[in-house]
């Protein structure tokens, strides 16, 4: 079952049957998140100290180094999206890469941005030259991706930085090309390998090459690695 509110967004995206589709995440793929979050939590009396690719235990209070609890983390993240989404900085090569891919595929941004910040995300991306339909999802993206693939009835590529989302895509939309891409150099050193990914490009030119190979019907994705 799709998360609440996702079906109308997919309908409004106007997916054209028979044309390949690229579904792409936003945070750490199109725009920077963690390095911006680090600055933001610093203004709230916290610091971001990432040693693993997860926020649990990574946000700590400046005063005494106490790790933030789950409710505190969620409150900070919601506050971040409410106040900072409109100012997130672009990942190098993202706009150019999607422009190249748009010549042969329709593009959809499949993001877990809160619905309340969706308009700000659309405006922010458009300001970076990334003006494509934005679907604000909740939880795993696999089911939304499967519905997009059903409507496209054509080859589909999925680009995301999250291991959990790559795994969700593998479970629910197994025929899609799964590209594990971390666009931020701030995070790339701690990004884990994801067995369910077909490839893990290091930059947007490599993302474009992998997707174009797939859409062109090459034998298999290039074995890039982070």
158-209 confidence digits (pLDDT tens)? 999 999 999 999 999 999 999 999 999 888 889 999 999 999 999 999 999 9
Residues 63 and 137 in one domain: no
Residues 145 and 201 in one domain: yes
DSSP H helices, the chain, are 6-12, 34-42, 70-84, 94-101, 118-127, 142-152, 163-172, 204-215
- Whether 115 is in a domain gets the answer yes
Residues 43 and 99 in one domain: no
Does pLDDT of 63 surpass 90?
A: yes
Mean pLDDT, all residues of the chain: 94
Residues 198 and 147 in one domain: yes
Residues 38 and 74 in one domain: yes
pLDDT tens digits for 84-134?
999 999 999 999 999 999 999 999 999 999 999 999 999 999 999 999 999
The answer to whether the CB of 118 falls within 8 A of the CB of 109 is no
Q: Residue 66 belongs to what domain range?
A: 34-87
Does pLDDT of 222 surpass 80?
A: no
Residues 42 and 128 in one domain: no
Instruction: Give the chain's domain count.
Output: 2
């Amino acid at each position: 079952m799709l998360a609440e509110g996702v079906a109308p967004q997919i309908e409004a995206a106007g997916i054209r049957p028979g044309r390949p589709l690229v579904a792409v995440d936003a945070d750490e793929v199109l725009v920077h998140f963690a390095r911006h979050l680090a600055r933001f939590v610093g203004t709230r009396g916290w610091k971001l100290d990432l040693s693993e690719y997860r926020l649990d235990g990574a946000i700590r209070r400046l005063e005494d180094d106490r790790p933030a609890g789950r409710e505190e983390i969620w409150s900070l993240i919601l506050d971040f999206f409410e106040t900072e989404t409109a100012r997130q900085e672009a990942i190098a090569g993202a706009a150019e890469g999607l422009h190249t891919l748009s010549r042969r595929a329709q593009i959809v941004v499949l993001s877990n941005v809160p619905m309340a910040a969706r308009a700000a995300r659309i405006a922010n991306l458009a300001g970076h030259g990334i003006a494509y339909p934005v679907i604000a999802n909740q939880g795993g993206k696999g089911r939304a991706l499967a519905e997009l693939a059903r409507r496209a009835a054509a080859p589909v590529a999925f680009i995301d930085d999250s291991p959990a989302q790559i795994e969700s895509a593998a479970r629910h939309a197994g025929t899609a090309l799964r590209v594990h891409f971390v666009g931020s150099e701030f995070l790339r050193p701690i990004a884990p390998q994801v067995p369910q990914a077909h490839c893990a490009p290091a930059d947007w030119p490599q993302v474009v090459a992998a997707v174009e190979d797939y859409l062109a019907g090459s034998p298999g994705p290039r074995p890039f690695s982070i």
